[in-house]
Amino acid sequence: MSELRQNPLSGQWVVYAPLRKKRPYDFHASERETAGLPERDTSCPFCPGNERMLPDIILEKPDGDGVSWMTRVVPNKYAAFESSCLEMNSENGPYAITPGYGYHEVIIESPIHNEDIPRMAPERVAAIVETYYKRYVEILADRKIMEVFIFRNHGKSAGTSLVHPHSQLIATPVVPAGIETKKKRAREYFRECKHCLFCDILRFERSSGNRILFENGSFVAFIPYAAEVPFELWIFPKAHQSDFRLISDTQKGELATMLKSVLGVLTQRLGDPDYNLLLSTFTRADRDDRSLHWHIVVRPRTTIKAGFEIGSGMAINPSFPEEDCRILKEGP
């Protein structure tokens, strides 16, 4: 029997239609065999020794040995946003226009071509989190920037063309509608209930337990109640924090171990599916905003949006979150 559930953050309804079930774990990682890849690739711009292929190096986190590096940040060669753009808002009849002012960077997560997060040492993943943080805070100093997105596309169907482990950062001069909706809904909830919606979700999930996948000192990973795609995962900091810039050093370390666990279980249970990971924060939130709470969303690419989904904005998910959680814990 079908069931509709509402995502409290977006207000969007999700249709659960188990009859449509092509078993959700019957998908294959797109011809990616990280294990079969070399440690270095002479044609990869992100591998050490190929720096001539990079436009520039914005930031480099050195390794303890003083010779090599752990992470690097470079400009995206095919940038969607550029800080050299002039600022100028205008209107044209019913249309608003603004130049693509902003930042678009690539965070190279390791010098090793074939080492993805689940196989990295925890301190190397911690270096990635630290690099996210450094760039995030630095870009915040630009008051023309309204939102900063840090994301990781894994696999061809998730939109990546290079296998070398990397994530990206895009900083925009406008607040995208999806973020605006989340903010609006969280603020309305706070006005009505006097609690943070995200903290309430966390409290409820921890007390019911059947969608919780991992928990450590600072973070909880769970499948959301109204997951839009099979095996969607949310990672919430336990402490109430509106903006990623408020993350502490302890939290950074625990976020690194949480990322290793979450991405590791996808590899282990589902055979390394393509996915998108997004750090969802509220870039210009006040330090003491009690209604907004940053978090991370991971969406495996297991389904394709068709006419109904595109037209209505409403997803049809063939599997229930509780069952997905069980599969990730115990195996199919």
Which positions touch Zn ion (CB under 5 A)? 41, 44, 46-47, 113, 164, 196, 198-199, 240, 293
DSSP type of residue 265: H
Q: Taking phi first (over 0 means left), then psi (-120 to 50 degrees means alpha), and beta for anything else, what does residue 160 get?
A: beta
Q: At what angle do helices 177-193 and 197-208 cross, to 10 degrees?
A: 80
> Which amino acid type is present at position 185?
R
Report the alpha-carbon distance of residue 19 to residue 1 in Å, rounded.
8
CB-nearer residue toward Zn ion: 124 or 164: 164
Minimal distance in Å, beta carbon 278 to Zn ion? 18
Minimal distance in Å, beta carbon 276 to Zn ion? 21
CB-nearer residue toward Zn ion: 101 or 282: 282
CB-nearer residue toward Zn ion: 79 or 196: 196
Minimal distance in Å, beta carbon 47 to Zn ion? 3
CB-nearer residue toward Zn ion: 5 or 240: 240
Report the alpha-carbon distance of residue 174 to residue 273 in Å, rounded.
32
Report the alpha-carbon distance of residue 90 to residue 33 in Å, rounded.
48
Minimal distance in Å, beta carbon 237 to Zn ion? 8
For every residue of 73-95, DSSP letters joined together read EEE-TT-SSBTTSPP--EEETTE
Minimal distance in Å, beta carbon 249 to Zn ion? 20
Provide CB contacts within 8 A for 210, sequence distance 6+.
Answer: 322, 325
CB-nearer residue toward Zn ion: 43 or 92: 43
Report the alpha-carbon distance of residue 9 to residue 184 in Å, rounded.
9
CB-nearer residue toward Zn ion: 211 or 269: 211
Minimal distance in Å, beta carbon 267 to Zn ion? 19
